[in-house]
Structure 1
Amino acid sequence: MKPGHILSNEPGFYKVDEYGIRHEDLVEIVAITKESDHPRAKNLVGDYDGRGVLGFSTLTMVPHQRECIDAAMLDDLELSYINNYHKRVLSTLGPKLKERGLVQDLEWLERECQPIVRG
């Protein structure tokens, strides 16, 4: 694997003989250093002589389904990741929906991309 490669990230939960749930996203492999604009950049333990590490940047621009998220089960990093992802989805797609006059779609996207809070 190297930067620029695209793959599918497919975490899932399967209850034997009952059901399975998969959450799929397309991701791009990216190089990460401590100076990168990436959620994990500031948490790098080392930079491996300036080479950094490889990580993922999500390409799929669809909000996570809020009804399926229990914020109480997320740690701070996970909650921050989802909220930052939703900001990115809204800032990427919102202007396109507005430009095309898709008011109802934009309103739905704005609702779905609101910050998730514990409480």
Structure 2
Amino acid sequence: MKPHTLLIVDDSSNIRRLLAHNLGRKFTVLTAENAVEALDILARGEKTDLLVVDISMPGMDGFSLTALIKGNPEYKDIPLVMLTAKDGSEDREKGLQLGAADYITKPFSLDEFAERIEALLKRH
């Protein structure tokens, strides 16, 4: 049995598949293509140890999703990583202020990404 479950929220099916394939060797990986689907997964009580959230998604963006999750007592302690092509310092600062534990920009190294996820899970 894999020790931790990740929920990856990204509107790009390529990113979801890439992360699920690579992180699936060490973790159980759930995926959602948008914020509404992610909230449904959480509401169903799916065990989630860490969330990976894209910022730029149609409908509700990753900032709004992060604010909702961090504002909910049931989910606020789940570490959340923002994974995005937005590399501006204002976006990074906003994500971290909303409660993201880490902010990773695309393109990214899969090995480094996995290491940062493992480090976050050990701290939490």
Q: Which has the larger Rg? A: 1
User: Would the TM-score normalized by the shorter structure come out above 0.5?
Assistant: no
As a proportion of its length, which structure holds more helix?
Answer: 2
TM-score in terms of structure 2 length? 0.29
